[in-house]
Amino acid sequence: MRGWHVAGRVAALAVTGALVVGCAVGPAADRARQEAPPALPAPTDVPTPPVPGDGTPGETAPGPSPAPATGDATETGTEATDLGTACCVAGLPDSDDLLVGAGDTVLLHDADAPGELAEVGTVPGRLLGLAVPPRATGSYVNVVAYYAGPAGGEIASFRFYPDRAWQSWGGTPVPLLDDPIPLADDGERSGGVLAFGPDGMLYAGTGDAGDPALAADEASLAGKILRIDPNGSQPPVIHSPGAYTDVRGLAWDGDRMWAVDAVDGGGARLYSVVPEGQPVPVWEEPGAAPAGLAAARGSLWMPAGEDDGTLWRVPLNGGTGLVADPQPVLDVRGPRGIFPAPGDGVLRLLAGDALTRLGVR
C-alpha cells in the first residue's frame, strides 16, 4: 500500500465536498514560512538498503550484525530525580543536557547541575512526546512537541536557545500539521511517540483514540506512523498505515525501523515497519503494555508494565528476525519511557519519578 500526499487526496475528493484528514496532512505552508525557524539541514531521502537475510533480491549492502543470544542491562547512575509525572525526555545535540516533558511544561536538566530543573517553556496542552534533531541550527535548537490540544493531537516546533535557557521560548508553536490527530476524551490510546530517523525526518506514532475503525480508515491519522519533514517543505505522509492500537515506541536498527504497539486488551506487539506498507509482526508479549522502545548493541530494549514492570531485551538477527527469544533483564518500577543517550551501549530509562542511565549489552 502506498502513502498519499494530501494535495492528491484533497483534489480527488473536493468534487464530493468530503472533509479529508488524509494520508498526508500538509503543513500550513504560508504560516510556516512566516513563523518557522530557519530551516534545518535538508533531510536525505534515501531508500532503505537491502539487508542480507531478509529475502530482498539483489542484496548489495551489509546489514547490522546479529546480536548475541544473551545480554544484560545495568543501572550505571541516576541523572535526575523528582520528575513527578514526566512523560518523555529528549537529549540536546552534542551535550549531556536534556529536556524533560511533564504536563504542559518542558524543563531543562543541566548535566552540570543535576539537582536542578529549569523551566524552558510550555505547550498549549498535555505533552505526549518530545524530539530534538541530532544537530543544532546555529545557536538554537528546534524542539518538536506532540501534545493533546483542545482540538486533538498537535505536533509543533519551538525554538530553544541553550545559551539563553533562562529565557522561555514562549507559547507560540509553529505547527507541522494542519489537521489534529484524533484523541479519545479520556486520553487513552493516544500514541504520542516522536523520534528523528536516520534520514533526518521526524516520525510520529499515534493511537486509535479508542476506535479501531479510525485506525483502519486510510483517511485518518489515528493508529498510524507519520513521516514529517521538520522544515515543513514537504507534506507529511503516512509512513506505516497500521492499523495500530497505541504506538508506544519507535527505534532503528541501522536503517530498519521498529515499532511497538500496545495491543487492545493488554500486551505489547513488536513490528518491523515496511515504509508505506503493512508492518510485519515479529514478537508479542501478552502480559503488560509497552512503555517505549530503544535500540542499542544490536538489540531492542522495551520496558513494559505500569507498576512493577520489566525491561525486555530483544536480540535481532540483522534482518526482521530474532537471534533468540526475548529475555527479561531488569525489574523496573513504574516504567514510562526509554531513550537514547550519548555513548555506545547507553540508554536512559524513565521510571517512577527518576531518570537513570543503563549500560546494555
SS3 category, 45: coil
pLDDT band at 40 (very low <50, low <70, confident <90, very high): very low
Cross-sheet strand order for the sheet of 299-304: 294-296, 299-304, 308-315, 327-333
Instruction: Please give the mean pLDDT across all residues of the chain.
Output: 82
pLDDT higher than 70, residue 132: yes
Mean pLDDT computed over 313-323: 94
Would you call 96 exposed, middle or buried from its count of C-beta atoms within 10 A (0-12, 13-18, 19+)? middle
pLDDT of 95 reads: 86
pLDDT at 18 over 60: no
Contact 295, 250 (CB under 8 A): no
Give the per-residue pLDDT at 59: 41
Q: For 2-11, 153-162, 333-342, which range has the lowest pLDDT when averaged over its residues?
A: 2-11
**Tens digit of each residue's pLDDT (9 = 90 or more) over 195-254:** 999 999 999 999 999 999 999 999 999 999 999 999 878 889 999 998 999 999 999 999
% of the chain residues with pLDDT over 90:
58
CA dist 241 and 284 (Å) reads: 19
The rounded percent of the chain whose pLDDT value lies above 70 is: 81
Verdict on whether the full-model pTM lies above 0.85 = no
- Per the omega criterion (within 30 degrees of 0), is the bond before 243 cis? yes
**pLDDT, tens digit, for every residue of 152-171?**
999 999 988 887 766 678 66
Residues 315-328, mean pLDDT to the nearest whole number: 94
**Model confidence at 25: pLDDT above 50:** no
Distance separating alpha carbons of residues 225 and 221, to the nearest angstrom: 8
Q: Give the mean pLDDT of 1-28.
A: 34
What is the distance between the alpha carbons of residues 288 and 268, in angstroms, rounded to a whole number?
7
- Of residues 145 and 28, the one with the higher pLDDT is 145
- Domains annotated for the chain, with CATH where assigned, are 6-40+82-303 (2.120.10.30)
**pLDDT tens figures, 93-110:** 888 899 999 999 999 998
> Rounded to an integer, what distance in angstroms lies between the CA atom of residue 216 and that of residue 242?
8
75: confidence class by pLDDT, cuts 50, 70, 90: very high
